[in-house]
């Protein structure tokens, strides 16, 4: 979908989910709050859930209409084109958690690696079918030197990994 399509979807509030992703809930609930980055945050369901649990949250999305829907001062919500090829506007090792949920732009994996602190956790889920799907085994390959906390591949590839020092 184009940025205009996404903006129209959020402007009309078409199919906006307000419940946080189960994968995030299952794996972030036991983590001590720290600094979190929600990439492709949409209307903020995951960012707000994290903020509710004491996390300091930065949420990025390329759709300005999505960012406009995040009415929570605890979330630093910003419009940022995640596909333009620019590095994320953060220092190295500046987050304890990065979430990339139901969005696939492979260069973001390298950026997630860069901005996560050692011991930090990446939570990601992407489709395995269709034009925006990831190949079988590909997701885990991007993080093969990290500690795998959870991995599953069905119609959705799920991966939760912890950054090992030196990676």
* pLDDT-based confidence at residue 18 (cuts at 50, 70, 90): confident
pLDDT in tens, 62-83: 989 899 999 899 999 999 999 9
pLDDT in tens, 77-103: 999 999 998 999 999 999 999 999 999
Does residue 7 lie within any of the structural domains?
yes
Does residue 86 lie within any of the structural domains?
yes
What's the CATH code of the domain at 132? Answer: 3.40.50.150
Contact 148, 159 (CB under 8 A): yes
pLDDT at position 74 is 97
Does residue 167 lie within any of the structural domains?
no
Q: Give the CA angle between residues 107, 118, 93 to the nearest 5°.
A: 55
Query: What residue numbers bound the domain in which 108 lies?
Result: 3-162
| 93-123 exposure pattern, b = at least 16 Cβ within 10 A, e = fewer | eebbbbbbbbbbbeebbebbbbbbbeebbbb
Contact 82, 105 (CB under 8 A): yes
Average predicted confidence (pLDDT) for the chain: 92
What's the number of domains the chain is made of? 1
Residue 15 pLDDT > 70:
no
Closest CA to 97 of 80, 125, 77, 117: 117
Residue 107 pLDDT > 80:
yes
Does residue 92 lie within any of the structural domains?
yes
pLDDT in tens, 120-152: 999 999 998 877 788 888 899 999 999 999 999
The stretch 12-29 carries a mean pLDDT of 87
């Amino acid at each position: 979908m184009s940025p205009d399509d996404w903006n129209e979807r959020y402007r009309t509030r078409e199919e906006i989910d307000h419940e946080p992703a189960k994968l995030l809930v299952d794996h972030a609930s036991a983590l001590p709050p720290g600094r979190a980055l929600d990439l492709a945050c949409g209307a903020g369901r995951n960012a707000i859930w994290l903020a509710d649990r004491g996390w300091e949250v930065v949420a990025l999305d390329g759709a300005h209409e999505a960012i406009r829907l995040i009415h929570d001062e605890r979330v630093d919500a910003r419009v940022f084109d995640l596909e333009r090829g620019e590095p994320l506007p953060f220092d190295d090792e500046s987050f304890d958690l990065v979430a990339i949920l139901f969005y696939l732009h492979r260069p973001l994996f390298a950026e997630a690696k860069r901005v996560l602190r050692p011991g930090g956790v990446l939570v990601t889920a992407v489709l395995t079918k269709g034009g925006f799907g990831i190949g079988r085994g590909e997701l885990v390959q991007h993080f093969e030197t990290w500690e795998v906390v959870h991995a599953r591949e069905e119609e959705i590839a799920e991966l939760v990994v912890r950054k090992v020092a030196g990676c």
